[in-house]
Amino acid sequence: MPRSSSSTRKRRSTKTTGVPNPVRAAIGEALGTTHDGMPVSTIMTVDEVKRNISHLPEARVRQVLNQVLDRVPAVREVLSEELLSKPVATLPLSEWAGIYKVRSPELADEWPEECSGNLKFEAYPSSTSAHLWAHFNVGIISGVMRSISKPPTSVTEEILIEWRGRELGEQAMLVNEWNRGILVFLGEGKIQATIQGDEANYTFTGSLVPPGAQRTPVQQKRRVKAWKTEWRRYNWGNEDAEQRARIGRKVVLYLEESPFESDTSAGDHRREEAIDTAHFLMDDD
């Protein structure tokens, strides 16, 4: 019996350390999580590693892969083989830019009168393709989205966005710094999104309307220019002024926020701190 028990313990130990130590350590460090007060890298099984990876957002997956590659050069051959054998499908502008019909099950369930049926979403690149700009109306909220990086170039690429807008009931301005989302363009004119922030957290899916219902290139540029102006008027100063005006204390004179330093128009509006793209949404572990 003692020998059998020892054998059992040995088999369990082998399973627990089934991932090669350097790779497991790199993944554990990248995941930055602990279990029962112990570093993940010392206790994760192969199944646990796979389960953790399956819940990572795309930006975090890239971070993990880069750290593993830096710490374990031997994985370069495997990664090279995978990347070369399964090239990423490119995403032409015609398959993502334009007017969409979208639906949101969560919003329709919560606000059936305002949010059932086709909702509005429209997206285009800026004139220099530095950002994606979009406008949306989902029944209870409308506003503008701005990506924190360049527009999509490949199918299923995650585009991280911030949004500002209004609640359509009382017309309250919504400028919370956690108004964020992730857009995923699936190719062939299809989109899915996860949005969070003021008023509601929700998802939506949709597809581009037929070419005959789309805007001309000139109209698209005008739309983006108007959205930038709208974005810059959604700010804390104007939000406070509107609040005071509602109780008769002040007349609203809208002031535009200066452009971000990375906008098409050069500006000096800088973030107070960098965005952590690995934990972009509030529920990212």
Per the document, the length of the chain is: 285
Nearest 5°: phi and psi at 235?
Answer: -150, 170
- Domain residue ranges in the chain: 2-85, 93-227
Specify the range with the lowest mean pLDDT, choosing from 60-74, 225-239, 269-283. 269-283
The whole-model pTM stands at 0.67
C-alpha span between 108 and 56 (Å, rounded): 28
Rg (CA), the chain: 23
Band of pLDDT at residue 52, cut at 50, 70 and 90 = confident
| 205 neighbors 192 (Cβ within 8 angstroms) | yes
pLDDT at 131: 95
- Comparing 29 with 18, which gets the higher pLDDT? 29
Q: Residue 253 pLDDT more than 80?
A: no
Q: What is the mean pLDDT of residues 179-185?
A: 96
Cα angle at 21 between 43 and 13, to 5 degrees? 45
Query: Domain 93-227: which topology?
Result: Lipocalin (2.40.128)
C-alpha span between 250 and 244 (Å, rounded): 5
Q: Judging by DSSP bridges, how do beta strands 119-125 and 98-103 pair with one another? A: antiparallel
C-alpha span between 40 and 33 (Å, rounded): 6
Which 3 state secondary structure label does DSSP give 44?
A: coil
111-135 pLDDT, tens per residue? 999 998 889 999 999 999 999 999 9
